[in-house]
């Protein structure tokens, strides 16, 4: 490979911000935005009202709301934008209330400040301050002062609704029925907030929802707040509020095939990668990202970063880089199997190609005598997997032999064989003359971008505390011993477990791990709740299973077991199950199971230990 490919210099990153103008609307939400804006304007006489914009994260809620906002502003409507997740206010109620008040006419705010100074029995300094600062302050500062006066004590705060209603009556009376006297408040990302934030927003809306001339447009993911998941864990008041919001909701429909294809092409043009995409790759990109616009941008940005920052691609064409990134994002399990050769065997692409050939001969051409060369390849593949080959003269035996073989190949091979997009992607890589060199480089130096799936699910799955912010000790109290002679495989996961509260001990071999566990049982440390083990150790594919079996028999380890390997076969699942162990090849599943085990340990712990 003497040619150096420098076209990566043409590529650019895209931001993850929602479109705020119709010109930037690649999702084609302009028509829906126009209709929603017109509907809100026509519904002024029905205010106060609340409209929920409902969609999964990354599916265009913020873009649609921004476009509605732009359309209303153009019509002269007064609008407020409040991002509930990034607002950063210690008091969400205060933040939303002051943000809304600051949009009102300054003359009305000054009169309100003067009235509050006259009508409230305020402490002298507060009363004097209201009167003296009213004239020179801007709307934002006046909103601060009004809020301060309304929330001095419980008695004044109880009258807040009446005072705010009076304020809005005065504001609307200046130009009755005019668009400039219609206030629309957009509240975004409510589904990402803690219950405390949702409760505060609920309190603010309760104050405002008795006042004509105000509409609230709330962006949130209804699936996060569904009655079977989150609402049952909320307080009754908060749950009632969320149900009230969803009484009037607009569910953003998923984009059609042609719409998502147009979106991908538009993003590709902006990133400078459009010439790399044919229709088949566009379809694969759409499916692998679950047609989620945010995920599409992330994948394209991942390619741009990889092509520009990773030196291993300096003499590979960008088409190769793009296919590798697609493989990593779309088929993460297969990608790991390909680049992390823990078994010391042949590469996954070659194995998959051999499996497809066997499938073709034994299943698709059953009943016909295959050519000698083709049959030799079949028997060789069976021998490599230590399975007795089928009898060539007896096609009735072929299905049985194939079933035995499938117990020894990676779990998803049968599924991937039916996936035409995957087959197309792999075929393109197999046709490369530089294929062997490509694989060696990937094994020596990993991709710059993290090899994880898009939108990695929270390990807590659908529990209510998944909305309590970042940084929680999900695995607090969990003591783990991890035995694996390939430390590269576990680095990211060990870091994640430790960062979230787990105590993780790493051992590279059986002897060291056994000493550590026996010392812990003898009182030199606390026993381990969870053993995470590989299957293959020191080149022996049975070592992990046999060792765990022995440790369970002699009580060296009495806790839970997870076998974690990038090569999981049906046979290994069966063997693991007989030991009461969980078996997985995916990071996400391992973290989910670790969370469940940690939660169970905390629930079973005595009160003193639990609180500590």
- CB proximity list for 602: less than 8 A, separation 6 or greater: 476, 477, 610
**Helix runs in 234-367, H state only:** 236-245, 257-271, 279-288, 293-309, 318-330, 332-339, 348-359
- Asked, colleague to colleague, whether 22-251 and 464-611 share their fold, the answer is yes
**87, 208, 221, 373, 500 from 93: Cα distances, Å:** 11, 12, 21, 75, 30
Q: CA-CA distance, 342 to 534, in Å (whole number)? A: 9
Q: CA-CA distance, 506 to 485, in Å (whole number)? A: 10
CATH fold of 464-611 reads Rossmann fold (3.40.50)
Query: How confident is the model at residue 137, as a pLDDT?
Result: 43
Residue 54 phi, psi (nearest 5)? -110, 125
Q: CA-CA distance, 97 to 205, in Å (whole number)? A: 9
- Among positive and negative, which fits the CA dihedral 216, 222, 226, 232? negative
Query: How confident is the model at residue 6, as a pLDDT?
Result: 47
Structure tokens at 449: 């971008």
Q: CA-CA distance, 187 to 41, in Å (whole number)? A: 18
Query: How confident is the model at residue 209, as a pLDDT?
Result: 72
> Smallest Cα–Cα separation from 405: which of 420, 424, 421, 385?
385
Q: CA-CA distance, 485 to 508, in Å (whole number)? A: 4
Q: Where are the domains of the chain?
A: 22-251, 257-444, 464-611
Q: Could you list the mean pLDDT of each consecutive 10-residue stretch along the chain, which spans 612 residues?
A: 50 84 85 94 87 87 94 91 69 67 68 62 40 44 59 55 76 71 86 73 75 87 56 59 72 90 92 88 86 89 86 82 85 84 69 93 79 94 94 87 95 90 84 76 70 45 38 82 84 89 93 92 83 90 94 95 94 96 91 92 65 42
Query: How confident is the model at residue 320, as a pLDDT?
Result: 83
**82, 212, 213, 402, 472 from 50: Cα distances, Å:** 15, 12, 12, 60, 33
User: Does pTM surpass 0.75?
Assistant: no
3-state helix, strand, coil in the chain (%, to 5): 55, 10, 35
Residue range 22-251 forms a domain whose CATH class is alpha beta
């Amino acid at each position: 490979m003497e040619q150096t490919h420098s076209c990566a210099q043409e590529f650019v990153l895209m931001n993850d911000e929602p479109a705020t103008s119709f010109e930037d609307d690649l999702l084609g939400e302009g028509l829906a935005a126009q209709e929603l804006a017109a509907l809100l304007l026509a519904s002024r006489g029905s205010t106060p009202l609340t409209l929920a914009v409902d969609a999964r994260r990354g599916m265009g809620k913020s873009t649609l709301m921004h476009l509605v906002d732009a359309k209303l502003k153009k019509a002269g409507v007064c609008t407020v934008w409040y991002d509930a997740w990034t607002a950063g206010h210690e008091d969400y109620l205060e933040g939303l209330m002051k943000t809304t008040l600051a949009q009102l006419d300054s003359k009305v705010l000054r009169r309100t400040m003067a009235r509050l100074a006259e009508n409230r029995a305020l402490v002298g300094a507060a009363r004097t301050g209201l009167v003296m600062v009213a004239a020179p302050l801007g709307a934002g500062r006046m909103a601060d002062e009004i809020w301060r006066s309304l929330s001095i004590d419980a008695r004044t705060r109880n009258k807040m609704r009446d005072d705010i209603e009076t304020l809005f009556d005065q504001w609307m009376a200046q130009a009755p029925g005019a668009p400039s006297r219609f206030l629309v408040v957009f509240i975004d990302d409510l589904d990402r907030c803690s219950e405390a934030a949702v409760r505060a927003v609920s309190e603010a809306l309760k104050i405002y929802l008795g006042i004509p001339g105000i509409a609230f447009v709330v962006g949130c993911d209804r699936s996060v707040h569904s009655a079977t998941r989150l609402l049952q864990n909320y307080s009754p008041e908060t749950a009632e509020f969320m149900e009230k919001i969803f009484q009037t909701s607009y569910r953003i429909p998923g984009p059609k095939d042609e719409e998502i294809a147009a979106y991908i092409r538009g993003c590709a043009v902006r990133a400078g990668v459009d010439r790399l995409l044919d229709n088949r790759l566009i379809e694969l990109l759409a499916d692998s990202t679950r047609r989620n616009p945010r995920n599409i941008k992330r994948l394209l940005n991942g390619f741009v970063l990889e092509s520009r920052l990773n030196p291993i691609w300096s003499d590979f064409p960008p088409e190769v880089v793009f296919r590798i990134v697609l493989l990593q994002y779309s088929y993460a399990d297969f990608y790991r199997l390909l680049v992390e050769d823990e078994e010391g065997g042949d590469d996954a692409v070659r194995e998959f190609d051999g499996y497809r050939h066997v499938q073709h001969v034994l299943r698709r051409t059953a009943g016909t005598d295959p050519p000698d060369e083709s049959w030799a390849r079949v028997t060789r593949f069976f021998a490599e997997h230590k399975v007795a080959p089928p009898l060539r003269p007896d096609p009735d035996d072929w299905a049985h032999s194939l079933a035995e073989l499938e117990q020894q190949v990676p779990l998803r091979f049968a599924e991937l064989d039916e996936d035409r997009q995957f087959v197309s992607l792999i075929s393109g890589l197999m046709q490369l003359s530089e294929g062997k060199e490509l694989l060696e480089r990937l094994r020596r130096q990993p991709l710059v971008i993290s090899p994880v799936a898009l939108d990695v699910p929270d390990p807590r799955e659908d529990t209510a505390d998944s909305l309590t912010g970042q940084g929680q000790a999900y695995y607090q109290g969990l003591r783990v011993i991890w035995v694996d002679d390939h430390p590269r495989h576990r680095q990211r996961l060990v870091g994640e477990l430790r960062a979230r509260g787990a105590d993780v001990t790493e051992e590279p071999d059986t002897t060291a791990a056994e000493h550590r566990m026996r010392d812990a049982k003898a009182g030199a440390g606390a026993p381990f709740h969870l053993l995470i083990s590989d299957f293959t150790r020191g080149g022996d594919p049975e070592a992990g299973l046999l060792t765990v079996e022995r440790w369970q028999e002699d009580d060296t380890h009495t806790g839970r077991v997870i076998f974690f390997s990038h090569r999981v076969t049906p046979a290994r699942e069966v063997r693991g199950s007989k030991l009461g162990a969980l078996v997985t090849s995916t990071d996400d599943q391992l973290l989910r199971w670790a969370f469940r085990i940690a939660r169970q340990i905390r629930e079973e712990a005595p009160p003193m230990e639990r609180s500590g």
